[in-house]
Chains A and B, each alone.
Chain A
Amino acid sequence: MDYPRHPNFLRDKLAEEVRLSIAVLAVLALLPLGISSPYWLGVLIVSMYFAMLSCGWNLLAGYAGQFSLAPAAFAMLGGYTTGLLAYHLDAPLWIGLPLAAVVPGAIGLVLGRIVLRLSGPYLALTTLSFAEIARLVIYNSIDFTRGDQGLNVPGIVDDRTLYYYLFLAALCATVLIVYGVLRSPTGRFLQAIRDDEIGAASRGVDVVRCKTVAFLVSCAICGFAGGLYSTFARLVSPELGIIAQTGLVIAMVVIGGMGTLVGPLVGAMLVYVASEMLRDVGNIQMIVFALLVIVFARFFRAGLWGLARGLLARRRAAASGGA
């Protein structure tokens, strides 16, 4: 079936964001040349993990308008998929890591089929319950998962710089996948659903299928990120899925700019690096970010990226006006 081409403004907006995303990723690729401290490399690796979660969550929340409160829980499930396979079956990572995307994706598919038939806040309610209860089950199934002691996970490589580039590659792949979805008809349908679900349905968009696809992709991205992270940390524990981690992901996307390709990347980097710095000031990072989330959601709905765009546009207008 033939779909109409992008309206130009959407394509131009996306193209601009793609250029900026490439710039951000290029800066990330160059950073290890200047930073040799393993501590800061580690911080950047973890922030790339969060950037993957943010991109996954943003695809669902920012572009499709569907709010999952379980990105961290799906990362935990991905981590446990890799961890349990290695622990019980000695499965090599080339099996364990892809399955870290497949298993959470499948769980997301089943959950999505049930919940996404309904519009309104059902997804947020169900995913929040699911997140806490999944964590509880892992925590209590001590024979199988070793409970809160967590599982040891084998690493991929020992060198931190190599790990850094592994994460960067995974992050690039994530951005590409999100971009691919956005370029496809499904991506435009998703944005139509976000803006007007009934309107989209009336124009023949298969609303439930599109939302389910977005949820599936988002869960798979989060799961893979969790699997990769657990090989880096060499450990997976229920702590990976606590609500505060989801809160951090939401803070990153809201502060960076929801519904944009580059916002979550920048947001994740800024928020995580800032949280490392605020930790020294006395563990006030979550207070600061929670406040920022409220302030941004209330007053700056387009996030930092939107603020920057507004400033640029104004300067451009002033320049052309003066000429």
Chain B
Amino acid sequence: MLAVDLFVNGLIIGLFYALMAVGLTMVFGILKIVNFAHGEFYMVGAYTYTLVSLVLGISPWLALPLAAAAGALLGWATERWLMRPLYAGYGSWGLMKDEYAVVVTFGLSLLLINLVDKVVGPYPMRGPSLSDVTRMAIGPFMMSGQKLITAALAMVLLAGLAVFIKYSLWGRQVQAVAQNRLGASIAGIDTARASSIIFMASGILAALAGALLAPVINPAPDVGLFPAIKSYVIVVIGGMGSIPGSIVAALSLGVLESFGAVYLSYDYRDTFGLVILILVLLFRPHGLFGERAREV
């Protein structure tokens, strides 16, 4: 049964990778930049959840929406104050897009890590669990209650996002802006609002991933680094900007790491992603699901 257990565990880890990677890939889709502070959205979510429920003594179930709100606020503020110059009336900035985005989001990441380090302290904390059940049987699998709840919530979030993007008015506007910002604005779509929505959604997903994993990861200021790196790898593998691609890549990476940690090497499990990344860049540079770049 080991193989099945590994597979299921890998899928669960993959779900959380997907929560991170989907936000990153949506931001890339709509602004064509990479947010290097994405891991810190995750970290802020984990801290908000842990601090709210430990210090204020609020039930962890109520702390979850608060963590989501923190993520949304952070995403909104990032977009409003740091990203908007990229497209709102600063003609020459388009040329320097990558330069500005890398520097400013990397600076934001450093700022958040060091602020939390200074204000809350550098030591890892232990987040409270949502469920006390340590082992229960789901069919043939043994699983902790926490794992089951978080996995279910992660699935609900991803499904909710898919429905939102595909069917809601705002979601369709977001798709339009991702395809062609100028065209969308000519058609009367508020592109600034679409960007704002996407940054907030990406902040919510990352913050909830951090909050749901808080009992396992023990939040520390630099806890977002590896999840962020995983999601960069996933986003490239899935094809930059492709949401289904990033979900498939996330689940695959989760399963692969889960098997690799047992059959290859536990210490080096985090390196598998880089190996795959290099292989993908060598043989399928636009990712598994990505469109080939159309440059004019």
How far is it, in angstroms, between the C-alpha of A192 and the C-alpha of B96 when the chains are bound?
A: 13
A129 and B233 contact, CB distance less than 8 A = yes
Q: Is the CB of B267 within 8 A of A140?
A: yes
User: At the interface with chain A, which of B141-149, B208-216, B224-232?
Assistant: B224-232
Known pairs A69-B106, A126-B277; A294 contacts B82 (CB<8 A): yes
Residues of B contacting A65 with CB < 8 Å? 98-99
Q: How many residues in B have their beta carbons less than 8 Å from beta carbons of A?
A: 47
Q: How far is the CB of A45 from chain B (nearest CB, A)?
A: 24
- CB pair A244 B295 closer than 8 Å: no
Q: Taking chain A's interface residues, is the majority helix, strand, or loop, or is none over half, making it mixed? A: helix
Complex: how many Å from CA A12 to CA B233?
A: 43
Chain A residues within an 8 Å CB radius of B270: 133, 136
A286 within 8 A of B: yes
Binary contact readout A103-129 vs B (1 if CB under 8 angstroms, 0 otherwise): 000000000001101101110111011
CB distance from B116 to the nearest CB of A (A): 10
Check: B263 CB closer than 8 A to any chain A CB.
Answer: no
Contacts of B271 on A, CB cut-off 8 Å? 133, 136-137
Cβ of B264 under 8 Å from chain A:
no
The residue that B273 contacts in the complex, of A129, A247, A290, with Cβ under 8 A, is A129
Interface string of B264-285 (1 = CB under 8 A from A): 0001101101100110011001
Beta-carbon contact of B110 and A247 below 8 Å:
yes
Q: Once the chains bind, are A294 and B99 in contact (CB under 8 Å)?
A: no
Does A163 interact with chain B (Cβ within 8 Å)? no
Q: How far is the CA of A247 from the CA of B222 in the complex (A)?
A: 13
B282 CB contacts on chain A under 8 angstroms:
114
B199 at the interface (CB under 8 A from A): no
Q: Is the CB of B99 within 8 A of A290?
A: no
A289 within 8 A of B: yes
Q: Mark B115-131, 1 if CB is under 8 A from A, else 0.
A: 10010000000000000
Whether the pair A287, B115 counts as a contact (CB closer than 8 A) is yes
Residue of B33, B95, B98 contacting most chain A CB atoms (<10 Å): B98
Tell yes or no: B102 within 8 A of A by CB.
Answer: yes
Closest B residue by C-beta to A195: B95
- Considering residues A128, A284, A290, A297, which has the most beta carbons from chain B within 10 angstroms of its beta carbon? A297
Q: Which A-chain residue is minimally distant from B271 (CB atoms)?
A: A133
Q: Is the CB of A114 within 8 A of B236?
A: no
Chain A residues with CB under 8 Å of B171's CB are none
Contact present for A294 and B33 (CB under 8 Å):
no
A132 touches B281 (CB 8 A): no
B110 and A137 within 8 A (CB): no
- Cα–Cα distance between A250 and B222 once the two chains are bound (Å): 18
Q: A124 contacts which chain B residues (CB < 8 A)?
A: 34, 36, 98, 102
Q: In the complex the two chains form, is A198's CB within 8 Å of B268's CB? A: no
Q: Which 8 pairs between the two chains have the least Cβ-Cβ distance?
A: A293-B107, A290-B111, A290-B110, A286-B114, A140-B267, A294-B107, A247-B110, A121-B34
Q: A118-B285, A290-B108 are in contact. List 20 more A-B contacts (CB 8 A).
A: A61-B99, A67-B103, A69-B36, A69-B102, A120-B240, A121-B33, A122-B236, A122-B281, A124-B98, A125-B235, A128-B229, A247-B107, A254-B103, A286-B114, A287-B114, A293-B103, A293-B106, A293-B110, A298-B82, A301-B96
